[in-house]
Amino acid sequence: MKAHFKPYTLNFKRASGTSRGILHTKETYFIIIENDEKKGVGECNMFKGLSIDDRPGFLEKLQWTCDHIYVGLEKLLLELTAFPSMQFGLEQAFLSLESKHPFELFQNDFTASKKSIPINGLIWMGSKEFMHQQIKEKLKAGFSTIKLKIGAIDFKAELDLLQYIRSEFSAVEVELRVDANGAFSPENALEKLKRLSEFDLHSIEQPIRQGQWQEMAALCSRTPLPIALDEELIGVFSVTKQQELLQTIQAQYIILKPALVGGFKGCEGWIAMAEKQQMKWWVTSALESNIGLSAIAQWTFGLGNSMPQGLGTGALYTNNISCPLEVSKGALEYTTKDNWDFKL
């Protein structure tokens, strides 16, 4: 058995505003395993500025992983605890190696094109006009759950956008989620949550910056709308610390990004702990190519969570990998046509 990796630069169709600034390109890495005549591929989606493994030595560790592929998945996952994007890529690559089709890692009603996954329509940060345009496009496309990134423009302008949606659609017709990416301060967060709660929101993700457990706990105990932890989970590796985090903060939801919190196995550990505390959860992608996105979607479907998931559409990039994923009426589908164009 041997392995190698290759970098790939994804180019955005238009510059996209995130909490990490304006993105024009997105670097990712594909790890390819070969065993006799079979090959498997996975995506190591290291997200610069957000991933815990965005640090010097990343490429050297990825090469080390390829050089030691022969030790097997379980030992490598233990070795790569501090490199969750590599854990994510390896899980995919080993599943791919054993699958009949290199990109169909899980056999279920999703990959059989019998059922789809409801997803939220994501509104990117930008000017009020740009965000307004996106909202109209998502609603026209049939999305019944809309997620807005907030904290980048004037708060009053963001409230106006929410007011616009609510003037047209009730909470029964359109579910609204917002993501602050830690933009609020502990001092002003509660007052802003009160203003936001006027618009019948489903939830707000990460209202204050991660790492402030006591402040977040106080906010969760008084919040007028449900809070979901997102970045808060990144870099918390030990089960003991994970349990302490959930028990301390007592949020209403947690959000799971496989490439950022230890792949599928890491996410399943978080889910088990959250459910013991009656916390709900959903899965979110993190700007993967269609290889990583498809893997997340297939795995997510098998979890049986009926909530709309935060899965991207793969349509952000000019040079994404062609694949059978399509979006129809606010749901992600895996079509019957096999149009993967990635060369193993």
pLDDT attached to residue 45: 96
pLDDT attached to residue 272: 98
Active-site residue, selected from the candidate residues 26, 147, 149, 192: 149
Do both 131 and 242 map to the same domain? yes
pLDDT attached to residue 286: 93
Query: Cα 334 from chain centroid?
Result: 18
- Find out whether 132 and 162 touch, Cβ atoms under 8 Å: no
pLDDT attached to residue 121: 93
Do both 8 and 135 map to the same domain? no
CATH number of the domain at 76, please: 3.30.390.10
Q: Is 136 one of the annotated active-site residues of the chain?
A: no
Distance from C-alpha of 170 to C-alpha of 2, rounded to nearest angstrom: 55
Do both 235 and 136 map to the same domain? yes
Distance from C-alpha of 265 to C-alpha of 276, rounded to nearest angstrom: 17
Q: Which two tokens stand for residue 328?
A: 């129809």
Q: Is 257 one of the annotated active-site residues of the chain?
A: yes
Do both 163 and 311 map to the same domain? yes
pLDDT attached to residue 129: 87
Residue 247 counted as domain residue: yes
Do both 175 and 280 map to the same domain? yes
- First CA to last CA across the chain, in angstroms? 15
Range of the domain at 75: 2-98
In the Cβ-directed half-sphere of 23, how many Cα atoms lie within 13 Å? 23
Do both 81 and 124 map to the same domain? no
Active-site residue, selected from the candidate residues 114, 257, 276, 329: 257
Mean pLDDT per block of 10 residues along the chain (344 residues) reads 97 72 88 95 94 96 98 98 98 97 96 96 84 88 91 86 90 94 94 97 97 98 97 96 98 98 98 97 96 98 97 89 94 87 83
Residue 155 counted as domain residue: yes
116: left (phi over 0), alpha (psi -120 to 50) or beta: beta
Do both 148 and 43 map to the same domain? no
Do both 191 and 49 map to the same domain? no
pLDDT attached to residue 150: 87
pLDDT attached to residue 127: 81
Residue 9 counted as domain residue: yes
CATH number of the domain at 158, please: 3.20.20.120
Do both 181 and 267 map to the same domain? yes
What domain count does the chain have?
Answer: 2
